[in-house]
Amino acid sequence: MPQFLDASQADFEAAFNALLSAKREDSPDVDATVADIIADVRARGDAAVIALTEKFDRITLTAERLRISTDDIAQAIDQVSEEDRAALELAANRIRAYHDRQRPEDATWVDDSGAELGWRWTPVSAAGLYVPGGLASYPSSVLMNAIPAKVAGVARLAMVVPTPDGVLNPLVLLAAQISGVDEIYRIGGAQAVAALAYGTDTIAPVDKITGPGNAFVAAAKRRVFGKVGIDMIAGPSEILVIADADNDPDFIALDLLSQAEHDESAQSILMTTDAGFAQAVSDAVDRHLLTLERRAIAGASWRDFGAVITVPDLDTAAALSNRIAPEHLELCVADPDALSAQITHAGAIFLGQWTPEAIGDYVGGPNHVLPTARSARFSSGLSVLDFMKRTTLARMTPAALRAIGPAAERLASSESLQAHGLSVTARLRKLND
Amino acid sequence: MPQFLDASQADFEAAFNALLSAKREDSPDVDATVADIIADVRARGDAAVIALTEKFDRITLTAERLRISTDDIAQAIDQVSEEDRAALELAANRIRAYHDRQRPEDATWVDDSGAELGWRWTPVSAAGLYVPGGLASYPSSVLMNAIPAKVAGVARLAMVVPTPDGVLNPLVLLAAQISGVDEIYRIGGAQAVAALAYGTDTIAPVDKITGPGNAFVAAAKRRVFGKVGIDMIAGPSEILVIADADNDPDFIALDLLSQAEHDESAQSILMTTDAGFAQAVSDAVDRHLLTLERRAIAGASWRDFGAVITVPDLDTAAALSNRIAPEHLELCVADPDALSAQITHAGAIFLGQWTPEAIGDYVGGPNHVLPTARSARFSSGLSVLDFMKRTTLARMTPAALRAIGPAAERLASSESLQAHGLSVTARLRKLND
């Protein structure tokens, strides 16, 4: 049974703080193992990757077979039904249309001193996309990672996906093809991350690695950070639904369960102004848990981390939501815009009763890679900007240098950086000659 | 003596690769010490911070004296000369004007399906700024970190700066005041980072920590990453100057030295199409190294990591520069715009002979916190965006859900996430009733 809290009770603050700080995931400490794997790949390259893939995925590869051939890809993709292909293409087109609007603008201007200033955005040259194997191998994640990279203009996008026992996932390969992925390797784990970061004879190194993975992948990404860029390290998924009584309890129950079915560590929270509605949703969850295919996972998540919070009003809901900083936030209330305006920290907001969070997972358009574990306080979902970087530009004219150079000389002197000052002084002297 | 390389020689590629991969910094492994310090601050709060400050900075504090009082700040600032204050204010105004233009735009639109989509940017609520003590305590760094945070709209900006033996740095305090810093604490090291990340009775926790620091500070930032956001971990500074023969060798020599004087691990590289000019610059560097105040540091940097590379043409220079991905790049050539257009990876570009890099350190306007160690391949200098985050927005209408919902159902089914699909199905069923 999930926790039932009432924000008007005296003991609420303590219970809510406990909910906020509950540790939902105990990652095994695999750091030493991962360090060894990375060192092995750096030392032996392809040979290490092949040996580790044999060990973990039970397939024997050669350097030539690390990369999945165009023929193998075409053959796998042939098995995809027309309906699945159409759904993937609809999703891809919508995700591309949304992310196209994120392309940042360059700027240059001349200021009062005559100095020309500005910046310029450029794509990362090469990016690597990690895709998990097995049950968590989601074609939608391929779209969500690959499309922003291609919209950014990344010229070379290399994907790695482990194929335990040699089994390819046709939908994952089709999603890669639709997204414009350039190379696909049948490898996974820390060895794949190491190969992408440091390169081997067969796999050229990349500059940035994104995509979800297990504890080994997460530890490897942390370790190669600095050598390459990485995206965030994602924790278990979360949803907060704020709903008034004027909702179908079944809709809300299914929205809560669609997070809970991801993972036993996932967290689903309902916040509502109506205690009767809270009970109705809770009952509907219990009913669905009798038949849901993933009821074991969803049931454990709901029991261990689920919560139903009754609040006196929506202002209170907004304030509590900002303390949670949820990854996904549904606003199923009469005026979702008014409530949304009070939200300062959330990964993604879903407005109104016709916008189930699952739409955002697949076909809405916004990215489904979002900040978890309260990190929406300081970070954003994946975007085109994650695959670009900004170079700042400055050009002084003689007049501009005369105008602002003396202040630079003064500050350099106050910081005891003499050569800094002299580099300005020498130029001003020449200008005054 | 720095390395002299010639890009037209047969052995160049090997020498250039060695230059690219040279390890310039051997950070001491302080991770275990830092883990203990963080655990101590989490367990004992103010008491731990006070004890550690007594040990490392040789001053005895109380909880009340952790924060530098307005009186102490005013008294210290009184010592600053009018000229220094004016220089700081000029710098602050120019930095603010540049960063004002970085404020991102919100967006919402309705697409063909009738879905309303968009995003909204919000500032981080509270940020912490680390400022080193002693020799590397630079007022310009306070401006470069604090002003983007305040332009972003960060409501609470807390600064920490160690004061070894109790000595306050008036210019650092003035820079904080000019930038709008809200609280200043006289603490440093890993204990200050831990206090900002986890909070103590006296110091409220923040959501994001930025600013440079020594190996202890860097290790602490790595450890608290996830609990809070952090900026990049900066390595030693670097400059690449690309210059044709039509330059004053003295200007270029001073620009190279203004990086070299930062740190024995700094790196200054000259790339030029003219071997005679290369020699003239090298001679000028040697001449300045006889008298420069920081000649010991600058000399060691130039000797150990400096390089002078002769290239056959500027196209080659651009290609080599992109492999270096320099933090600072000066283009002292007849047509800097044409050369700049070929640059794909650089933290900051300085165009033409009247733009010494030192202008960018102080008064140009762009940020001087820039990606080092080739990380300009995948990351950018500090900006207003580092203190903001984006929430994505989506709202389906019944018509939009009818249009795109079935594709979501299909994809949910292909990923075996039944509740995801049912959350859409239940709504479509009601709409069709």
Q: Is A109 part of a structural domain of the chain?
A: no
Query: Per DSSP, which regions of A276-420 are E strands?
Result: 307-310, 328-332, 348-351, 388-395
Residue B188 is assigned to a structural domain of this protein = yes
Model pLDDT, residue B373 = 92
- pLDDT tens digits, B91-129: 999 999 999 999 999 999 999 999 999 999 999 999 999
A114 part of a folded domain: no
For residues B124 and B120, give the distance between their C-alpha atoms in angstroms, rounded to a whole number. Answer: 13
Q: Of A328, A330, A357, A368, which residue is the catalytic one?
A: A328
Q: Is B31 near chain A, with CB under 8 Å?
A: no
A204 touches chain B (CB under 8 A): no
Q: Does A411 touch chain B (CB under 8 A)?
A: yes
- Digit-by-digit pLDDT tens for chain A (433 residues) are 899 999 999 999 999 999 998 888 777 789 899 999 999 999 999 999 999 999 999 999 999 999 999 999 999 999 999 999 999 999 999 999 999 999 999 999 999 999 999 999 999 999 999 999 877 789 999 999 999 999 999 999 999 999 999 999 999 999 999 999 999 999 999 999 999 999 999 999 999 999 999 999 999 998 999 899 999 888 899 999 999 999 999 999 999 999 999 999 999 999 999 999 999 999 999 999 999 999 999 999 999 999 999 999 999 999 999 999 999 999 999 999 999 999 999 999 999 999 999 999 999 999 999 999 999 999 999 999 999 999 999 999 999 999 999 999 999 999 999 999 999 999 999 998 8
Tell me, yes or no, whether B338 and B359 share the same domain: yes
* Cα–Cα distance, B379 to B138 (Å, whole number): 23
Q: Domain of B324?
A: 3-25+235-364
Is pLDDT above 80 for B27? no
Instruction: Check the annotation: does B288 bind a ligand.
Output: no
pLDDT of residue B21: 87
Q: What is the pLDDT of residues B271-304, one digit of tens each?
A: 999 999 999 999 999 999 999 999 999 999 999 9
User: Which of A230, A264, A295 is where one domain is finished?
Assistant: A230
pLDDT given at position A137: 84
Predicted interface score ipTM higher than 0.85: yes
Residue ending a domain, choose from B364, B383, B405: B364
**Same domain, residue pair A12 and A38:** no
Other beta carbons within 10 Å of A17: 11
Q: What is the dihedral of CA A63, A68, A69, A70, to 10 degrees?
A: -160
B200 and B78 in one domain?
yes
Nearest-Å Rg of the Cα atoms of chain A is 26
Same domain, yes or no: B173 and B59: yes
Q: A69: domain CATH number?
A: 3.40.50.1980
Give yes or no: residues A219 and A277 share one domain: no
End-of-domain residue from the set A190, A213, A230: A230
| The predicted structure's pLDDT at residue A433 | 82
Q: Looking at chain A, which residue has its C-alpha nearest residue B332?
A: A395
Ranges assigned E (strand) in A283-336: 307-310, 328-332
For the residues of B292-337, what is the DSSP string, one character each? -TTHHHHHHHHHHH-EEEE-SSHHHHHHHHHHH--SEEEEESS-HH
Q: Indicate if A210 and A245 belong to the same structural domain.
A: no
- Band (pLDDT 50/70/90 cuts) for residue B211 is very high
Q: Does residue B253 sit within a domain?
A: yes
In the residue annotation, A327 being an active-site residue is answered as yes
Does residue A156 sit in the same domain as residue A259?
Answer: no
Helix, strand and coil percent figures for chain A, each rounded to 5: 50, 15, 35
Q: Is residue A389 part of a domain?
A: no
Q: Are residues B285 and B147 located together in one domain of the fold?
A: no
- Give the C-alpha separation, B152 to A391, whole Å: 19
Residues 6+ apart with CB under 8 A from A24: A235, A236, A265, A266, A267, A305
Q: What pLDDT shows up at residue B22?
A: 85
Q: What is the pLDDT of residue B4?
A: 96
Per the CB < 8 Å rule, is B135 touching A84? no
Per CB-CB distance under 8 Å, the chain B contacts of A365 are 111, 115, 117, 394
Residues whose CB falls within 8 Å of the CB of residue B202, separated by 6 or more in sequence, listed in order: B45, B46, B63, B64, B66, B67
Work out the number of other CB atoms within 10 angstroms of the CB of residue A105: 8
Q: Is residue B388 in some structural domain?
A: no
Which residues in A lie closer than 8 A to residue B226 (C-beta atoms)? 233, 373, 375
pLDDT at residue number A232:
83
Which residue is associated with the tokens 């089709």? Answer: A174
| Residue B19 and residue B66 in one domain | no
Q: Chain B neighbours among A 231-250 (CB < 8 Å)?
A: 233, 248, 250
**What's the gap in Å between the CA of A330 and the closest CA on chain B?**
10
Say if the Cβ atoms of B423 and A207 lie within 8 Å: no
Provide Rg for chain B, Cα atoms: 26
For chain A, what is the domain count? 3
Q: How far is A378 from chain B (nearest CA, A)?
A: 6
| Residue at B389 is within a domain | no
Hey, which residues does A243 pair with through a beta bridge? A272, A332
CA distance to partner chain A, nearest, from residue B64 (Å): 27
Q: Are residues A178 and A292 in the same domain?
A: no
Residue B138 lies in a domain: yes
User: Residue holding tokens 């200098």?
Assistant: B381
Closest in A229, A251, A385 to B423, CB measured: A251
Which positions in chain B touch A88 (Cβ < 8 Å)?
411
Residues B317 and B339 in one domain: yes
Q: Are residues A61 and A174 in the same domain?
A: yes
